[in-house]
Structure 1
Amino acid sequence: MSAVQQSIAWFETLGRHDVPRVGGKNASLGEMVQTLEAKGIRVPPGFATTSDAYWNYVSANKLKDRMTDFIAEWEAGKATLAETGLAIRNIFLKGDWPAEMESEIRTAYRELSSRAGVDEVEVAVRSSATAEDLPDASFAGQQETFLNIRGETALIDACRRCYASLFTDRAISYRKTKGFDHMKVALSIGVQQMVRSDIGGSGVMFSIDTETGFDKVVLINAAWGLGENVVQGAVDPDEYQVFKPLLDNRALSPIIEKKKGAKDIKMIYAVGDNPTRNVPTSKVERAAWVLSDREIVELARWATTIEQHYGCPMDMEWARDGNTGDMFIVQARPETVQARRDVGAFKSYTIHKKGKILTKGLSIGDAIASGQVCLIESAKDIDQFVDGSILVTQTTDPDWVPIMKRAAAIITDHGGRTSHAAIVSRELGLPAVVGSGNATEILHTGQEVTISCAEGDEGFVYEGIADFSVEKLDVTGLPATKTAVMLNLANPGSAFRWWRLPADGIGLARMEFVVSNAIRVHPMALVHFDTLKDEEAKAEIAKLTAGYDNKPDYFVDKLALGLGRLAAAVYPKPVIIRMSDFKTNEYAGLVGGAEFEPAEENPMIGFRGASRYYSPRYREGFALECRAIKRLRDEMGFTNVVVMIPFCRSVGEADKVLGVMAENGLKRGENGLQIYVMCEIPSNVILAAKFADRFDGFSIGSNDLTQLTLGVDRDSGELADLFDEQDEAVKWMIEKVISEANKAGAKIGLCGQAPSDHPEFAEFLVDCGIDSMSVSPDSFIAVKQIVAKAEKAKAGRS
């Protein structure tokens, strides 16, 4: 077979075994066309030039010896990287195509145009190196892509530029770092029909959480126009997350995260020498979601199908055609960072004393770093970077990689989780805050800051050098226990950080954390928005709820999404969600809340918990909480969610609350719904048998139970010595309610810090026969070991 006959391969003839022939990118496209189109995944058609074609071009133009000489001069220190790259690119660009090879590319382009039903089809011309997408080297962005190429002459020129891009400065440097022989890496060109995403949308998605490695979610970034802006980090995209295990049920919509990005610009088609250009987006585009819920779920299903086919987490690019509305996968490659991470051992960072927040954005990684800022606004100034500094810039591209490798951390104005800055930071193991919006405006070179990516989805930049600690956690070899050890979690943003802990579920998820941080508005202010007297609050609520015609829907959506992330983190294990337990003074602090809350002398034992849920003062607000839980269980599919009622003073009150819940679609036993009650009032212990008739389980709130048993204000500094969860009276209460719950066949657990702080207290709970303990994540390993030891001692005594 001649070299000419080996120049072209159509995607439908290629598979993933063809990486040596057409590179990872094109082999993967062929694999999907061959095997996944039958499963409903659309891939734009096209063809690839082969590695033989590359070597044929090199040979015909007698480039090899000259390339070798240029590289040797650079490695000997006789030429700079920039001089070397430019010299090699120039000899490629001045080369001539072998006649038959050029003819074959032109013929294939005419065939692709014919298949598309047009005279000259617009194509994307992509580079696919034969060494790319290996387990320890992503080669992300090392070579060039050319979009909206139309006509045979333009295509031939773009193909020549693709070959030259194998020797960009960044590609040369990357291969050197990874130990690849420059003369053994070839380049295949992918010629793929363009999706009209310039008038639609596009983006990137991963079949894994990029920061924690949590393998049960799909992360999708989306922006208007062509996808280069998302990849480059030039735009702040929308971000969506979908829970994979529930995607098989077509009746469910397991979307657990929706964050609207700024989307200030979009890349569209242009004419002339540059076939694409960026333009500002409209106000309507910035305010709208790029994808509908149906499209989000469809893309997530595709991601799951692709991952299952390849047998590993995947990094994919997608595009939606603005004319037809059809979506396509335009690239798929193995994810190369989290896939290599040790799942048994990980580091937990905790920040202690810290300065004021200077800026914040998306957190990349889960580490903390301190140091001096080095602000670099343009790639031409990267030689001014000081090693070990915290790099601050607007955005990065592959030209920045040489100094990114020398940074302690990275902060950018623009970009999402799938931007270049995020991907490279992850690969280098550096903490990064991307999409801050204003870092280059408020930070300056030489300034001391601390960057924290250890507090959830949001990354923070603090003033000064903060005090923080690092703990190595190893979850391998932990003993099994009969007593369930669960987690206390409130922040949905940090829920996935702890997925590696072999916890038995979440024993306490505080709804009020989501309300105060993600919603911020008093639910009654949403219900009665039109009649609010506070004009300032009304204006703020209007801004927060932009896009919601019905204001209460804002509360339901935000609450369901936030709680959904918690439920997903441990699914299918139980997640016990406590309905709102703000005190009146805390409720009044929510936007618009002052109009709906009474002033109380002692809110701690005032209008809180169960008493609010049936009261005319809050009943409509509680209905919104119930709607969110119902959506969480019935529409999103998280039937592992258990509802818990706090501060329920009497069995009569219990009956009222259960009645109101049933009116709002939450009836005990329906669709497996379990309802627990907090045991934090002496009456819960005294009448435990009667409470057990009405609830499926108890959760002992040891702080409040201690406070009300001993008559001690837990917040009083004067009485701190008297507040003791191990007081004889408190332990009697706990032992009593555990005994009554066991007799009634009701579940009973304890959520509190005492088992973490006092091993003997954990042993006491085991001896009493408690079903579960719920502790903070950083205490989990120690408590698990204490419980195992206590169970062994108890078994030895029996």
Structure 2
Amino acid sequence: MDTYIKFFDRTGIADIPVVGGKNASLGEMYNRLSSQGIAVPYGFATTAPAFRLFLMENGLDHKLRELLHTLDRENYTNLRDIGSRARQYILEAAFPEKLSDAIIEAYSGLCERETAEVAVRSSATAEDLPEASFAGMHDTFLNIKGEKNVLKAAKRCFASLYTDRAIKYREDKGFKHEEVALSVGIQKMVRADKGCSGVGFTVDPESGFDRVVLLSGVWGLGENMVQGTVNPDDFYVFKPALKKGYNAIIRKELGSKDKTMIYTDTDHHVATINTDTPKDKQETFVLSDEEIHRLARWAVIIEEHYGKPMDIEWAKDGLTHQLFIIQARPETVHRSDTGTFFREYHISGKGKTLTSGNAIGHKIVHGTVRLLPSPADAGKLSAGDIIVTGSITPDWDPLLKSVSAIVTNKGGRTSHAAIVSRELGIPAIVGCMDATRVLTEGAKVTISCAEGNTGYVYEDEIPFTAKDIDLSRIKMPKTEAKLILSDPGTAFRLAAYPHKGVGLLRMEFIITHQIKIHPMALVDSGKITDKATRTSIEELTRGYKRKEAYFIDRLAQGIATICAAFYPEEVIVRLSDFKSNEYANLIGGQYFEPVEENPMLGFRGASRYYNEAYREAFKLECEAIRKVRSEMGFHHLKVMVPFCRTPEEGRNVIRLMAENGLAQGKEDLEIYTMIEIPSNVILAEEFARIFDGFSIGSNDLTQLVLGIDRDSELVSNLFDENNRAVKMMITSVIGAAQKAGIKTGLCGQAPSDFPEFAAFLVESGIDSISFNPDALLTGIENMRKAEDHILRVSSGQP
């Protein structure tokens, strides 16, 4: 039987030429990884010789070769006709008796004592090689039952070797059509229609960051996710924490999942239908935390076994509640990346935002909007246009190589649109919800995927810059160069930059963009009388029985994402430093914030944390940070107290932090303070006895030393970090820190804007300088020049 059929327990990765990448991988995992707990449904595969026998006995090998010889390989004008005729040739042909008998015998053995439902999958013999993906190119048929239906599905798999997209893909990759065979995998059915299913990547598919596993899932069959019909749940799991036994889930994003794909219940033909997902299931994650961890562990085992990043498919049987791996193939986008060279995009301004969604890739492009309901409308496309549609399926693939970007209403980071756009290197914005409604046919727009996880469609052509960077050529200074970060969505990509960690993590961005609600509005919601405000809070916190947990989880996940990106280098998170007018802009904020004449010098920083008006909200901040450090294991996270006016205030905050699970020194917790008020400098020795380190905030320190409102345009010309009084303050505090044996850093723009300021800091003996991402490389260069100058002077060179 091995000539035409190979069962999984007799199949391995060496059998790719015989059963294709998909089936060879299933056999490999079944044989080699089951002992490590990975569950793979048992089955068998037809072989390449079986496919060639089918073609030969029906006279199709010559017939197909002649047909494909007539393909218009320049413009592919006849691709649809040739694909249709090739598939019809196969569907009208008959199985050789010895092949159909072998399939039926194997199916009967798989069924054991009763007729079983099976999945019938296509696996091309050139599939999943390092230079080819074939993702979504060939057909799969699910919930097949009975011998006749199995044979019918197998023949339809054979025919899918000649889908339009598969023909075009082989042409693009240089595969000879006659050298590629189709193996059919037949395995026991996982009833995901009554459970859930999804995909997983052992690297972040956007950045190539290799220390996370991304899992995505939907209720029912995974085709909804592939087609982009629904937005799935996403789960990011940090591999080092997973291996150490911590809670390794650093981010959970609840998808809408408004549709659930299930099978129609008939023995005569197999079909699927999309049903409305009940509201309570839409608001429930498809996997428990335990299941997320289990799937992530399986993904890591698979990656380590194959020795390369992997793209997996998983399913959960709704009847048995068992999890299974149903496919694993090499990840095709980032495997060959060296990690030392990339192109950095910066948008030069912001126009009117027309729509936004999940950003795929990091590019910015200009183009013309083409509203296309289906691939049949391809005649409207010109090179460089932007396809705007509801969702992208594999049928679109032949059109996508000529466009500059893709925008869809639906779809997540693991939809087919996202996967294909990454492979083609074109930006995409998926899951916009309203793109086909708000974008106008023929309009000129800017697509920006260079601003974090969210992609934006701007009106008109906004200028942008693109710069190629070879990180391997950057030499680091001895003085530590750190990053200033606020957006977790940029963290994995920025981790590729040269750095010594994060000197300032601003949590305000996370609160504003991911939480959106004033923390006291969650603690004391009874004060909120406005119906619209209450409705907004209810919508954002859906799925949380305790509304405070929403704030804790979202803040913890944002901080943890940045901690994971820069692990094991230190990350210093600054406690919230909104001014009262900024807090008031959060949902429900106006019910809890005073109206101040000068918020810059008012109720901000340390003074808030122990004040009764904010004390309960501060507990939520502490709980989020405690969760990141203690439950997730990110002990390299340090905490910084901003705008601490007096030593007494510092001691009050440290005492309150300890009461809320953040005791100084416990689990190596270090607590820093910002140096941004003249009193911090004057009493630096006393502050050094309280805190473990200093971070100089040059913007606030300059304005308070010089008495200049840095927000006032009238005196902005007088704002100068290079002023002698400011420098004397900085020199004084660095000296006090050195005397006390604690570290000092500086966060600000000046060291990158002014080489002489960087030189001053280095000469003063500062330990680290933190830069915004767009200033980091310039700052590093300025620091190196300063160190080289000091070295030359010390050695007597000019």
- TM-score normalised by length of structure 1: 0.97
Hey, what does 1:237 align to over in structure 2?
Answer: 232
Which residue identity lines up with residue 499 of structure 1 in the other structure? A
Hey, what does 2:179 align to over in structure 1?
Answer: 184
Hey, what does 1:308 align to over in structure 2?
Answer: 304
- Of residues 251, 269, 282, the one that matches 1:257 is 251
Hey, what does 1:289 align to over in structure 2?
Answer: 285
- Partner SS for 2:739: helix
> CA contact under 8 A between 1:371 and 1:390: conserved in structure 2?
yes
Deviates more, 1:431-440 or 1:225-234: 225-234
Which residue identity lines up with residue 266 of structure 1 in the other structure? T
Tell me how far apart the structure 2 counterparts of residues 630 and 711 of structure 1 sit (CA, whole Å).
Answer: 37
Which residue identity lines up with residue 558 of structure 1 in the other structure? R
Hey, what does 2:565 align to over in structure 1?
Answer: 569
Hey, what does 2:46 align to over in structure 1?
Answer: 49
Hey, what does 1:545 align to over in structure 2?
Answer: 541
- Of residues 734, 741, 750, the one that matches 2:737 is 741
- Of residues 623, 626, 645, the one that matches 1:649 is 645
Deviation at 1:79, TM superposition (A): 8.4
Deviates more, 1:256-265 or 1:657-666: 256-265
Which residue identity lines up with residue 756 of structure 2 in the other structure? E
Deviations 1:38-62 (A, max 9, x none): 1111111111111111111111112
- Partner SS for 1:42: coil
Tell me how far apart the structure 2 counterparts of residues 293 and 95 of structure 1 sit (CA, whole Å).
Answer: 49
Hey, what does 1:710 align to over in structure 2?
Answer: 706
Whether 1:97 aligns to 2:95 is yes
Deviation at 1:729, TM superposition (A): 0.5
Which residue identity lines up with residue 320 of structure 1 in the other structure? K
- Partner SS for 1:338: coil
Tell me how far apart the structure 2 counterparts of residues 532 and 141 of structure 1 sit (CA, whole Å).
Answer: 50
Hey, what does 1:9 align to over in structure 2?
Answer: 6
Which residue identity lines up with residue 416 of structure 2 in the other structure? H
Where do residues 409-420 of structure 1 align in structure 2 (5 Å cutoff)? 409-420=405-416
> CA contact under 8 A between 1:395 and 1:415: conserved in structure 2?
yes
Deviates more, 1:92-101 or 1:639-648: 92-101
RMSD: 1.4
Deviations 1:323-379 (A, max 9, x none): 121111100000111112341111111112232111111100000111110111022
Tell me how far apart the structure 2 counterparts of residues 285 and 651 of structure 1 sit (CA, whole Å).
Answer: 51
- Of residues 118, 132, 138, the one that matches 1:137 is 132
> CA contact under 8 A between 1:382 and 1:400: conserved in structure 2?
no
Which residue identity lines up with residue 670 of structure 1 in the other structure? K
> CA contact under 8 A between 1:321 and 1:327: conserved in structure 2?
yes
Where do residues 354-503 of structure 1 align in structure 2 (5 Å cutoff)? 354-503=350-499
Deviation at 1:534, TM superposition (A): 3.6
Deviates more, 1:550-559 or 1:281-290: 281-290
- Partner SS for 2:499: coil
Tell me how far apart the structure 1 counterparts of residues 431 and 595 of structure 2 sit (CA, whole Å).
Answer: 41
Deviation at 1:71, TM superposition (A): 1.0
Hey, what does 1:581 align to over in structure 2?
Answer: 577
> CA contact under 8 A between 1:374 and 1:386: conserved in structure 2?
no
Deviates more, 1:180-189 or 1:341-350: 341-350
- Partner SS for 1:285: helix
Tell me how far apart the structure 2 counterparts of residues 402 and 445 of structure 1 sit (CA, whole Å).
Answer: 22
Which residue identity lines up with residue 104 of structure 2 in the other structure? R
- Partner SS for 2:70: helix
Hey, what does 1:173 align to over in structure 2?
Answer: 168
> CA contact under 8 A between 1:395 and 1:413: conserved in structure 2?
yes
Deviations 1:249-286 (A, max 9, x none): 22x21212211111121111212423322222111221
Deviation at 1:76, TM superposition (A): 8.2
Tell me how far apart the structure 2 counterparts of residues 290 and 386 of structure 1 sit (CA, whole Å).
Answer: 41
Deviates more, 1:370-379 or 1:335-344: 335-344
- Partner SS for 2:243: coil
Deviations 1:686-728 (A, max 9, x none): 1111111111100000000111111111111111121110100
Q: CA 1:452–1:76 in 2, change beyond 3 Å: closer, same or farther?
A: closer
Tell me how far apart the structure 2 counterparts of residues 404 and 352 of structure 1 sit (CA, whole Å).
Answer: 27
Tell me how far apart the structure 1 counterparts of residues 155 and 464 of structure 2 sit (CA, whole Å).
Answer: 52
Q: How many residues align?
A: 791
Hey, what does 2:294 align to over in structure 1?
Answer: 298
Q: CA 1:639–1:193 in 2, change beyond 3 Å: closer, same or farther?
A: same
> CA contact under 8 A between 2:471 and 2:497: conserved in structure 1?
yes
Deviation at 1:454, TM superposition (A): 0.5
Gaps of at least 5 residues in structure 1 are none
Deviation at 1:136, TM superposition (A): 2.2
Q: CA 1:526–1:266 in 2, change beyond 3 Å: closer, same or farther?
A: same
- Partner SS for 1:678: strand
> CA contact under 8 A between 2:552 and 2:621: conserved in structure 1?
yes
Whether 1:29 aligns to 2:23 is no
Which residue identity lines up with residue 736 of structure 1 in the other structure? S
> CA contact under 8 A between 1:584 and 1:607: conserved in structure 2?
yes
Whether 1:152 aligns to 2:112 is no
> CA contact under 8 A between 1:257 and 1:565: conserved in structure 2?
yes
Q: CA 1:76–1:291 in 2, change beyond 3 Å: closer, same or farther?
A: closer
- Of residues 346, 351, 372, the one that matches 2:347 is 351
Which residue identity lines up with residue 145 of structure 2 in the other structure? R
Tell me how far apart the structure 2 counterparts of residues 467 and 75 of structure 1 sit (CA, whole Å).
Answer: 38
Hey, what does 1:730 align to over in structure 2?
Answer: 726
- Of residues 176, 201, 207, the one that matches 1:206 is 201
Whether 1:218 aligns to 2:218 is no
Q: CA 1:535–1:90 in 2, change beyond 3 Å: closer, same or farther?
A: closer
